[in-house]
Structure 1
Amino acid sequence: MAHISPGGPPSPLSWETPAERADRNLLELLQELRVVQTGVQIVFAFLLGVAFTDRFLRLDTFERGTYVVTLLLTVVSSAVLATPVALHRGLFHRGAKIRIVAVSARFAEVGLVFLALALNGVVLLLMDVVLGLTAAVAVTAVTLILFTGLWFVLPRALRRPALEAPVEPR
């Protein structure tokens, strides 16, 4: 059954029903989250290991504060990025897949914000230890701009209809 969006052209996969589209979107989202969650776990493991090194005892107050905030941002990003899995488990077979996808997509976006902040916290901490605070702030500003541009600005820019190419059915 072809699905035509109200007031617009057919969706890119116009042969999908809304339920089929929700199934596909959820599977794609969960796969994306698996990849991102691995990165979060690596950052978290790194941060846990740092606290048990001899060098950790020599961190100054700013560096310890950066460490604590970064660790907590990593924990929050992990929790937020895992929420779609919990939603799927909790609402599975309840006819709420379209809603699960919509809410989960939001959680994924928020989780990416926390992950970007956590990764930049790691950069700030490491660059402060290696290069000093002034250089660390400069490098972190660059990486923050990089994440903002690639993860948030670029996807929104590509959503513009003029940039969308029609997708032909396979």
Structure 2
Amino acid sequence: MGERGDGGAGAVDRGRVETAEQRADRQWQELLQETRVVQTGVQILLGFLLTVVFTPRYASLGATDRGIYVLTVVLGSLATGALVGPVSFHRLVHGRRIKPQAVAWASRLVFTGILLLLATLTSALVLILRVATAGPLVPWLVAGVPAWYVLCWFALPLWARTRHTVKPEE
């Protein structure tokens, strides 16, 4: 394993000493753990969304709200597909000795799934707030909640990546 110094301030992480295959195995395991968290949430959300059309309230929705509902279900379905995709991908290429490439493709699928989840949650929020209330806070909430997701899911990690990434020694 690589050296990390004494762990105090100013310690330099010199990285891991691992083969490309070991790195791919580790990255695959990390990706699976991350995917398990988001997969469960998106599947529960989609399951809930699929039941809405069978409720009595659905019949009273206007054309716009029905359109938002359909868009939300489609986005949720696309998010589910992208987030389940790495499992199928792994099954189909297992044993073909292309794990580094499989990790790269699976990572892209998960990132796409996260973007689609953001769109699904935003669309669901628009629909729920349109049906639940017509108050003056609705546009602010519809703008604020996705902004919060973007901050938590993208801006903060990118800031930390930029601020705290140690460049390898030359």
Alignment partner of 1:159: what SS? helix
The alignment's TM-score, normalised by the length of structure 1, stands at 0.84
* 1:68 aligned to which of 70, 77, 81: 70
Contact map agreement 2:42 2:79 (CA 8 A) in 1: yes
Q: CA RMSD in A?
A: 2.1
Structure 1 position 52, deviation (Å): 1.0
Alpha carbons 1:43, 1:74 under 8 Å: kept: yes
Deviations 1:94-139 (A, max 9, x none): 1111111111111111110001110111111111111127543321
- C-alpha separation in 2, matches of 1:165 and 1:11: 9
What whole-Å deviation, never above 9, does each CA across 1:26-71 have from its counterpart, x for those lacking one?
0111121122111111111111121111111111111111100000
Paired with 1:138 and 1:93, the residues of 2 have a C-alpha distance of 50
| Identity score, percent | 35
Amino acid at match of 2:164: L
Could you list the structure 1 runs, at least 4 aligned residues long, displaced by more than 4 angstroms after superposition: none
Match in the other structure for 1:122? 124
C-alpha separation in 2, matches of 1:61 and 1:134: 22
CA gap 1:11/1:75 in 2 versus in 1, 3 angstroms = farther
The offset of 1:86, in angstroms, is 1.3
Letter in 1 for 2:90: H
**C-alpha distance 153-111 of structure 1, shift in aligned 2 (>3 A):** same
The CA distance in 1 between the partners of 2:147 and 2:94, in whole Å, is 38
Normalised by the length of structure 2, the TM-score is 0.84
Q: Which residue of 2 aligns with 1:94?
A: 96
Name the residue aligned to 2:142: 140
Distance in structure 2 (CA, Å) of the matches to 1:77 and 1:110: 8
